[in-house]
Amino acid sequence: MQPEKFYYDNKIVRNFGIATIVWGIIGMTVGLLVAMQLFKPGMNMGNQYTTFGRIRPLHTNAVIFAFVGNAIFMGVYYSLQRLLKARMFSDALSKIHFWGWQLIIVSAVITLPLGFTTSHEYAELEWPIDIAITLIWVVFGINMFGTIIKRRERHLYVAIWFYIATFVTIAVLHIVNSFELPISGLKSYYLYAGVQDALVQWWYGHNAVAFFLTTPYLGMMYYFLPKMANRPVYSYKLSILHFWALIFIYIWAGPHHLLYTTLPSWAQSLGIVFSIMLIAPSWGGMINGLLTLRGAWDKVRDDVVLKFMVVGLTAYGMATFEGPMLSLKQVNAIGHFTDWIVAHVHVGALGWNGFLTFAILYWLIPRIYRTQLYSLKLASFHFWIGTLGILFYAVPMYWAGFTQGLMLKEFTPEGILKYPTFLETTLRIIPMHVMRAVGGGLYLVGVIVMAYNLARTMAIGKLVAQEPAEAMPLEKVFVAHDEGDNFWHRVLERKPIQLMVLSLLVILIGSIIELIPTITISSNVPTIASVKPYTPLELQGRDIYIREGCVNCHSQTVRPFRSETERYGEYSKAGEFVYDHPFLWGSKRTGPDLQREGGKYSNAWHYNHMLDPRLMSPGSIMPNYDWLINQKLDTTTTASKINAMRTLGVPYAAGYDKLANTELDKQAKGIADNLAKDKIKVQSDREIVALIAYLQRLGTDIKVTKTANN
């Protein structure tokens, strides 16, 4: 048989590489901007389109799906072709994939600041974009499997197992977490409500971390690290064990984001124990990486690329140990909702994803341009400033997290909260927020230096768009060479479709066991008779709350702790959220919880507070929401919103959609009149009125007040 000649497509790799750098800088710059807003709210530039609640999702989406996403495709397109000894299946699909993905990102950059959001974290993009993501993901899948089918290498290397698991799991996660009922071109309601919606979202959210930020990167680590160090992979057995254990166990861990909420206890406990069992499988990847460097540690001293890899792997190890620890409910009680979590995810994101991406870029760009890196000094500078940036980011945030977590729980001997005003704790950690922005800034400087360095490198060299290669075609029938070829896993490595199906089954087990009972068995969400659907005005107000991204800073779930029931009121019950499409429990308390906000303050208080929070809470870092006072509430959508909610099972009477706006006007007038009594003149058709209506309703359905009893 003759070896076949073919060409690797380097152009697509280069394109994804450039996109990685460009979106990385954009996403991190937005991150720096939101970080600064956390100590200087005026950094929103007095503008609703650049205010924290709207652009924090832009930051997360940009760095996850644009920066890391493009880096994944760069790494996969480079390594897949070489590991399979084949060109990508179709150049056209590669192009569609590339441009489609960039278009999706651009649409996110446009829609998120405009306030189009589903409010599900890391899945904020509205339904038409969700469909586009699905299509492009399928294009990627076809292109990948097409390449696998026409491969010239019989066995699939461990990197490819990870790519396959990434592909199937992200597809499942994205589709299940995008079950939305559209009510207009860019607005939809989630099918699930309350507790169920929360579980689906965090099953998705957690596994987005697992299968978008972890598995593809492990795959890339398995290809690039042995290449960079020129060392054999430490243990084949370990890679088999940790691959299957990782994908099987990871999928169960989502509920650890919902500890002490109204999620059924059995689901919470499953989340905890599977998180603990995740330590070893996660570390398997780190160990296999670090031990691959065995005998090459002297190279680490000189080679900046390997330095990035080592710090990246170490950051991965730290984050995947800390994660399980944070899942223990006793630790979670303090850490959850605080900056501790932000520190934790950034160790993973900046260290693991960031540093691996940089290492791969520094290694790969000179290779496809057939040249040397423009400046090793600059790359070394990038490494050190990046490492410092991570430290300056993480240490103050851990500090802030502990400080605030402990302060919020402290009582005086008289039995009242030592810091009853949430704001006191916020003010105490502002210096740490300043430091964090400095750390983020350092990291960003490193990335900009890298961009310059790589641009110069590209300028010196010339892209080898079509890289020639040759390999023997596969024989029709496979004949085992030795005993090893009959090992069960070796057999599986020859059968890509079976491998995909098996990994799909493995990730479905945990998903089904956790999701199905929570969604179908009613005893998991006991109903409460006094909980009624929102009025039309409150529903509109709720959508403004969603649009402004209030959920990014305010949770809506009171945990059963003395420190929370004393601060906020009765702890949350599952039945209270049955009409919440979507749930708005949040994941971070930059400000206080709002689940029992209704009736706590007067309408006038809320009005003044939204106009300028510092009028009512001196020192507050919440931005002004003055545009809500000028903007007219769009009531043309009321009927379709009521109808959509009815379709989703909210018991609005038939024909209520036609009365809804009359009711809405009546309630709005009532609030405007009430405000007028406090000398606040506002027209009843303004957005602020709807938002006040919603805030005053929050948590009141089962609220027991002392005055009412007296």
Partner 1 sequence: MKKLLTAFVLITTLGTAPVMAANDTLMPVDTMNYIGYGAIMLMLVLFVVTMLVLLRTFKVLTRLLMGAEAKNAPAEVEAEVVPAKPKNSLVNKLLSLRPMAEEESLLTEHDFDGIKELNNPTPAWFMGLFYTTIVFAVGYLLVYHVFGIGQLQDQEYQTEMTIANKEKEAFLAKSANRVDENTVTLSKDGAVLQSGATVFKTHCAACHGEKGQGVVGPNLTDEYWLHGGKINDVFKTIKYGVQAKGMPNWEKQLTPKQIADVASYIKSIYGTKPAGAKEPQGDIYKDDAAAKTASI
Q: Which is nearer to partner 1, 424 or 685 (CB)?
A: 424
Least distance between partner 1 and beta carbon 37 (Å): 19
Q: Which is nearer to partner 1, 175 or 492 (CB)?
A: 492
Q: Which helix (H) or strand (E) holds 513?
A: helix 496-520
237 is a site residue for partner 1 (CB under 8 A): yes
Which 168-187 residues touch partner 1, going by CB under 8 A?
none
What is the C-alpha to C-alpha distance for residues 160 and 493, in angstroms, rounded to an integer? Answer: 10
Q: Which is nearer to partner 1, 462 or 562 (CB)?
A: 562
Helix (H, G, I), strand (E, B), or coil: what is residue 496?
helix
Q: By CB under 8 A, name the one of 618, 632, 655, 681 that touches partner 1.
A: 618
Gyration radius (Cα) of the chain, Å:
26
Burial 204-220 (b: 16+ CB within 10 A, else e): bbbbbbbbbbbbbbbbb
241 is a site residue for partner 1 (CB under 8 A): yes
Q: By CB under 8 A, name the one of 566, 634, 662, 676 that touches partner 1.
A: 566
707 is a site residue for partner 1 (CB under 8 A): yes
298 is a site residue for partner 1 (CB under 8 A): yes
Q: Which helix (H) or strand (E) holds 471?
A: strand 466-471
Cβ atoms of 374 and 453 closer than 8 Å: yes
Which 357-376 residues touch partner 1, going by CB under 8 A?
none
Site for partner 1 (CB under 8 A): how many residues? 101
344 token code pair: 């934790």
Which 669-698 residues touch partner 1, going by CB under 8 A?
678
Least distance between partner 1 and beta carbon 49 (Å): 30
Segment interacting with partner 1 (CB under 8 A) among 179-187, 391-399, 531-539, 639-647:
391-399
284 is a site residue for partner 1 (CB under 8 A): yes
Q: By CB under 8 A, name the one of 7, 179, 244, 601 that touches partner 1.
A: 601
562 is a site residue for partner 1 (CB under 8 A): yes
478 is a site residue for partner 1 (CB under 8 A): no
Q: Which of 215, 201, 133, 101 is nearest to 166 (CA)?
A: 215
611 is a site residue for partner 1 (CB under 8 A): no
Q: By CB under 8 A, name the one of 17, 254, 271, 281 that touches partner 1.
A: 281
Q: Which is nearer to partner 1, 266 or 478 (CB)?
A: 266
Which 644-673 residues touch partner 1, going by CB under 8 A?
none
Cβ atoms of 278 and 250 closer than 8 Å: yes
Cβ atoms of 440 and 17 closer than 8 Å: no
Q: By CB under 8 A, name the one of 56, 206, 256, 567 that touches partner 1.
A: 567
Least distance between partner 1 and beta carbon 3 (Å): 15
157 is a site residue for partner 1 (CB under 8 A): yes
235 is a site residue for partner 1 (CB under 8 A): yes
Q: By CB under 8 A, name the one of 616, 629, 648, 659 that touches partner 1.
A: 616
Q: By CB under 8 A, name the one of 236, 244, 452, 656 that touches partner 1.
A: 236
The string of DSSP letters for 543-609 reads: HHHHHTTGGGT------S-HHHHHHT-S---GGGGTT-SS----SB-SS---TT-TTTS-HHHHHHH
What is the C-alpha to C-alpha distance for residues 363 and 361, in angstroms, rounded to an integer? Answer: 5
> Which positions ≥6 away from 22 have C-beta within 8 Å?
none
401 is a site residue for partner 1 (CB under 8 A): no
Q: By CB under 8 A, name the one of 226, 441, 461, 592 that touches partner 1.
A: 226
399 is a site residue for partner 1 (CB under 8 A): yes
Single-letter amino acid, residue 653: A
269 is a site residue for partner 1 (CB under 8 A): yes
631 is a site residue for partner 1 (CB under 8 A): no
Binding mask 105-144 for partner 1 (x = CB under 8 A): ----------------------------------------
What is the C-alpha to C-alpha distance for residues 419 and 425, in angstroms, rounded to an integer? Answer: 7
Q: CB count, 10 Å around CB of 653?
A: 9
What is the C-alpha to C-alpha distance for residues 452 and 22, in angstroms, rounded to an integer? Answer: 11
449 is a site residue for partner 1 (CB under 8 A): no
Segment interacting with partner 1 (CB under 8 A) among 110-118, 181-189, 222-230, 574-582:
222-230
526 is a site residue for partner 1 (CB under 8 A): no
What is the C-alpha to C-alpha distance for residues 232 and 229, in angstroms, rounded to an integer? Answer: 9
Beta strand pairing status for 466-471 and 187-190?
Answer: unpaired
Q: Which is nearer to partner 1, 174 or 436 (CB)?
A: 436
Q: By CB under 8 A, name the one of 145, 452, 605, 627 that touches partner 1.
A: 605
Q: Which of 274, 363, 283 is nearest to 317 (CA)?
A: 283
Q: Which is nearer to partner 1, 96 or 570 (CB)?
A: 570
Exposed (0-12), middle (13-18) or buried (19+): which is 238, by Cβ within 10 Å? middle
Exposed (0-12), middle (13-18) or buried (19+): which is 264, by Cβ within 10 Å? buried
148 token code pair: 């696998």
451 is a site residue for partner 1 (CB under 8 A): no
Q: Given CA atoms 103, 104, 106, 110 in this order, what sign does their dihedral have?
A: positive
Least distance between partner 1 and beta carbon 262 (Å): 9
Segment interacting with partner 1 (CB under 8 A) among 62-70, 453-461, 559-567, 646-654:
559-567
- The helix-helix angle for 304-327 and 215-229 (nearest 10°) equals 150
Query: Phi and psi for 86 in degrees, rounded to 5?
Result: -155, 150
Q: By CB under 8 A, name the one of 1, 2, 265, 520 that touches partner 1.
A: 265
302 is a site residue for partner 1 (CB under 8 A): no
Q: Which is nearer to partner 1, 100 or 216 (CB)?
A: 216
Q: By CB under 8 A, name the one of 3, 46, 185, 295 that touches partner 1.
A: 295
Which 75-104 residues touch partner 1, going by CB under 8 A?
79, 82-83, 85
Could you tell me the end-to-end alpha-carbon distance of the chain, in angstroms, rounded to an integer? 94
What is the C-alpha to C-alpha distance for residues 135 and 125, in angstroms, rounded to an integer? Answer: 15
427 is a site residue for partner 1 (CB under 8 A): yes
406 token code pair: 């402990």
Q: By CB under 8 A, name the one of 301, 476, 632, 681 that touches partner 1.
A: 301
Which 3-62 residues touch partner 1, going by CB under 8 A?
none
Q: Which of 320, 324, 345 is nearest to 397 (CA)?
A: 345
Segment interacting with partner 1 (CB under 8 A) among 179-187, 210-218, 480-488, 523-531:
480-488
Using CA atoms in the order 476, 482, 488, 494, what is the torsion angle rounded to 10 degrees? -30
162 is a site residue for partner 1 (CB under 8 A): no
